[in-house]
Amino acid sequence: MKKLILAVLLSIILTNVFAQKENIVTIYPDVVYHHKDGMALTMDIYVPLNHNSKGVIFINSGGFYSPFFSNQYKKNSNSLSEIDKDNFSFIPKVDLKPEFHQQFSFEELLKSGFTVFDVRHSSTPKYMLDEITTDLNFAISYIKKYAEKYKISKDRLGVCGGSAGGYLAAYLAANPQGDNNFKAVVLYYPAGYDFLHSRNDMARKALPSLNTSEQTLDSLSLKHYISNKMPPTIILYGALDNPFITEPSEILISEFKNKNVVCEKIVFDKIGHIWMDENRKYSNKTGDKAMSNLIDWFNKNL
């Protein structure tokens, strides 16, 4: 009996040790991927101990402001150095505030073994959309150049984002300017299919980064770049979202299918932008379901 009890206790201890190791994350905060106008453009990089050699790039943008979503690390109180990566710890999902930031918590991605790149770009109102897309191509080049350092294969990269970040993720994946070669894309409520369409009039007035020439805006519209080279893509959005999200999402899925792109669409009933319900309250249930879909998509396609 004593041997049985000891065996059970040892099993529990070992399980806890392995569980703790699975949750260990090495954090590289504020990694500089480019300089412009005397300003550093940065990303945070999260490498789980149980990494699977796959990388997920999160475009941290809302309304073309970056970072729109909170940093997911904190400096340890006893830290003496800003440089030592061991002086930073991961912020769990439940501690991210405001609550709607939890929809892009990296917690489950890291537990699943993905290395996560939280990429920031130069922001509205100073910088225009064409400058922002240029920034992000520098970020992709940096990630691919130093892939080995961050425990990933440069040929097993996925990209994701929401709203403006969703547009930027789709634009990078459509690959009009380089050799990004992503293997999978996840788009939450993406914008930007056709910037000159009348459904975008309000957005153009509200978002300073879109206050550029019509020629430039049109050249950045996703409608010009959808081809059979687009990687497997899933689009998730709420049925109550704005028409400049819902209608273009339907068009994108239709075009993907016409081009024989592997694609999927998930629509959440009674849900609006950034997973807000009919009472303008963030829906944790929707956010959790969307993250589950995101992880499943990357597991399947990366």
User: In this predicted structure, what is the pLDDT of residue 176?
Assistant: 59
Residue 212 is assigned to a structural domain of this protein: yes
What pLDDT is stored for residue 77 in this prediction? 63
pLDDT at site 87: 74
Look at residue 78 in the predicted model and tell me its pLDDT: 58
pTM score of the predicted model: 0.88
The CATH number that applies at residue 139 is: 3.40.50.1820
**44 and 29 Cβ atoms separated by less than 8 Å:** yes
In a domain, residue 43? The reply is: yes
d(CA 96, CA 149): 28
- Is 15 inside any structural domain? no
Instruction: Identify the bridge partners of residue 65 per DSSP, sorted by sequence position.
Output: 62
Position 178 scores a pLDDT of 65
Reduced to 3 states (helix: H, G, I; strand: E, B; else coil), residue 266 is strand
pLDDT score for 127: 87
118 is in which domain, residue-wise?
23-73+85-301
- Measured CA to CA in angstroms, residue 98 lies from 61, 70, 287 at distances of 16, 9, 13
Q: What's the angle, vertex CA 185, arms to CA 182 and CA 188, rounded to 5?
A: 150
Question: Which pLDDT value is given to residue 251?
Answer: 94
For position 18, what pLDDT does the model report? 30
- The answer to the question of residue 251 being in a domain is yes
DSSP string across 121-183: ---TTTS-HHHHHHHHHHHHHHHHHTTTTTT--TTSEEEEEETHHHHHHHHHHH-SSS----S
**pLDDT per 10-residue tile (average), the chain, 302 residues:** 40 32 78 92 95 96 90 73 64 92 96 97 89 93 95 94 95 78 95 89 84 92 92 97 93 95 97 95 97 98 96
Residue 18, classified by CB atoms within 10 Å of its CB into exposed (0-12), middle (13-18) or buried (19+), is exposed
Would 229 be classed as within a structural domain? yes
Answer whether residue 16 is part of any domain: no
| DSSP, res 282 | B
In a domain, 124, yes or no: yes
Domain total in the chain: 1
Residue 78 domain-assigned? no
Question: Tell me, what's the pLDDT at 102?
Answer: 94
